[in-house]
Structures are given as C-alpha cells and as structure tokens.
Amino acid sequence: MLKPAPDAQRDRPATFLFLQGIASPFFSDLGRALRARGHDVRRINLCPGDWLFWRGPADNYRGPREAWGRYLEDYVAREGVTDVVLFGDCRPFHRAARMIAETRGLRVHVFEEGYIRPNWITCELGGVNGFSSLPRRAEEVRALARRLPQPGRAMPSTGDMARRSVWDVGYNLANVLFPYLYPHFRSHRPTHIAAEYAGWVKKFSRRGHTRREAARCGEIYNAVGCDYFLLPLQLDSDYQIRVHSPFLGVEGFMDRVIKSFADTSKAPTRLLVKLHPLDSGLINWRKFARASARRHGVSDRLDFIDGGDLPSLIAGARGVVIVNSTVGMLSLEMGRPTHAVGTAIYNMPGLTHQGDLDRFWTDPTPPDMGLMADFRRVVLHRTQVNGGFFSASAIERAVAGSVPRIESALPDAMLAAARVVREAAERDGELAPVY
C-alpha cells in the first residue's frame, strides 16, 4: 500500500523521476509533456541506450547494480522526487526502485505493452501484471463496472515494425559500442544481444518456409475440422514467467503441458504449439516440444508452428493454455476456454478454467461473457491508454492519454501548484521549460 506523500511536498508541483523505458522516444515525449504542464522532471540513465532515447538533461548512474539502492535513496531525498515512471516493474533496477518508493510513499507509474491489443498501452499505478491492483474477484469486477461508463472506441494505432526494429538495434548498438560510459551496466536480458541478433538472422532466412508451413497446417486443420487445443508460447526471457509463474522458463512450462495432455486427453484431439512472434530463434523450441512429445508418447498428436493468424487459431481451438500472457485476454474475449498456470490479471473464477490442467483437456470451462465484458471495461478505464510506442502518431496519442491518467493520481495541491508554474510561464510569453 502506497503511503501518502509528505505534507511538505504537497504544496509544490510533482517531481517525476523517469527510469528505463522501451526503445522508443515515448518516455522523452512524455517527460516533455509533463514538464509543459508545470511539473518537475528528472531522469536517470543507466546505459548508453537510455541516453540515446532521452532528449535533454539527465543524471547518469554508472555504479554497480548492488549500489543502486543506496544511490537511488539519496537521489530521491535530494531531488524531492514524488513520482517514479518506469517501463516494466520486474527489471532488477526497477524492483529496487519500487521497494524504495513503497518505503518513502512515492507513487509509481508503470508502463507496459497493452493488456488489450492492438491500439492500447498499459499505464497503471503501483504495478502491472502480477503486481497489478485490478480486482481479482467477479463480484468486485461487476460492482466496479456498474459505476463506469461504456468505453469509447479506440482510435487505430498503427505500429511500424521496421521502425521498432531500427530503434531496438540503435538502443542495443549504443550499449555494445560505448560500454565504457556505463562500465557496470548489465542488461536484464538473459542472453547477449549479439547472440539474439544472430538468432534473428537465422530466423529471417527461414521466414518464408515457416510461414508456408504454418499456413499449410492451418489449411489442413480447417479442411478436416481438427479438434485441437492451442499452446501459444511466451518469450523465455519474459519476467511474467520468471517472476509470476511456478516455472523458470518456457521449457518447463511446455513439458508440463505436454505431459498433462498425454496423460488425460483422448485421440484424435491434437495439441498445436505456436512460437511467440518475437522469439529470436536462439533456442530451438520445436526440438524441445518434439522431444517432450516423444517422451510422453504423443508425437503423433502434436504440431509446432512459427507463424499463423492468432485470432483464427484461437477461434478454431477447443481451448487455450497459457502461462499469463495477454493472449489470455484475447482468448477470453473470443469466448474460448482458457487455462492460465501463472498469475494473471484475468485468472479468476468466472473467466479462466479453475480446475486442474488435467481436467481441462476433457472438460474445459468457458468464460462468463457478461463478466468478461465487465472486466474489459474495468481494465480499459483503470489501466489502458489509446496509442502505441512505435510510430509518431501512436506516441503522440499515447502521451496525450497518459498525462491525464498520471495527473489523476496527484493530490489537488500538486495540480494547483503546477498550474501556477504553467500560468506564470504563459504570462512571461514562454513555454514552461521542457526536457
């Protein structure tokens, strides 16, 4: 539970401290917008990639990870920080920041990819996913939804995959080329970026083949009216697996699901395993899946694809098994029985299958679509902002929606103090100074 900000801080504008964001100008533009609203904005860069995507003044932390907590404690006290803004709340630097924020009564605004996709990003106070404060009981969801208006339609928010790739390469290339600027920085990614990109090169060289293979599998399934369950994989590096599930990674999860499928499902039902579209191909998950299927005696009933249209695959499946990815939201919205083995915002009675995994193959529980509509309304109003991270128009819309969401968490006195700063700048014929 967040403690209230000290009284001495309430009669002045908020001071926002930005930590690591996604490889995109989004955080830089959001910081500028908050500064223009009259708030103070600070930034700590932790690596060259952070510096590359932040326009304007910033502080730089170049010490070891184990000294980060003490540094941040001193920084927060010295600069009068009231709010912390970060992307993803499970990175080691960010987990330390959340702990410090909790002890000092600071608000933490966490951004992530959208719970609902496409056209939305997540902006949630306190934490996201397993750390989310969204209600976890059906009666709470229904009661809250009754007090909320029907959400408006989202404006399309196109993402430029080529631009996303260029920005990601730029971020990581800066870290590789200038490591001496931040000599102690270690990425939260489990593998070196050079190895990841080598995997991507190999994957792209086979892209035509894997797409044709996935399309052929889909055509066969449709032609024969195949009875199947869908197993969409998450990224092995995903903190939602490592922090918010009983598994250490994809391999353990996949083997557990295949064993359960082998033990209790009945032929001719099949299990379709789908690779995550952003998997670099560094690990041969197809090989692991087939080895697991052989070990458990279901080689003839397992298929593995890298590609395919996810909504179509969900629509045709008897059910979907996941750890806790946002695929679960889509599956539930489409009315498909869904079993989540990890902590997820939507994993509750009335939405996901609550029996054990073994029973799911023979008696999957479909979602209550009325509850799902209420839950979607709550999620949209509490956590989602229309926009995206990877095109100019999407970023502009995301910033425009994020500012009022963030300001809604601030005390009235802070908003009033920010208004005084903003009006003074306007009287002087100047825009409020921006980063």
Distance in angstroms (rounded) separating the CA atoms of residues 323 and 339: 8
Q: Which residues contact 44 (CB under 8 A, 6 or more apart)?
A: 17, 18, 19, 58, 59, 60, 61, 72, 75
Band the pLDDT of 2: cuts 50, 70, 90: very low
Return the CA Rg of the chain.
23
- Over 70: is that where the pLDDT of 28 sits? yes
Q: What are the DSSP E strand ranges found in 54-161? A: 59-60, 83-87, 107-113, 120-125
120: helix, strand or coil: strand
Per-residue pLDDT tens digits for 154-173: 887 776 778 888 999 999 99
Tokens of 423: 């009006």
The string of DSSP letters for 250-279 reads HHHHHHHHHHHHHHH--TT-EEEEE--TT-
Per-residue pLDDT tens digits for 51-95: 999 998 999 999 999 999 999 999 999 999 999 999 999 999 999
List domains and CATH numbers for the chain. 7-119+156-160+387-427 (3.40.50), 205-370 (3.40.50)
Per-residue pLDDT tens digits for 169-225: 999 999 999 999 999 998 877 677 777 877 778 888 888 889 999 999 999 999 889
Bridge partner residues of 113 (DSSP): 121
Distance in angstroms (rounded) separating the CA atoms of residues 81 and 12: 11
Global pTM reads 0.92
Per-residue pLDDT tens digits for 357-369: 999 999 999 999 9
Which residue type is seen at 194? A
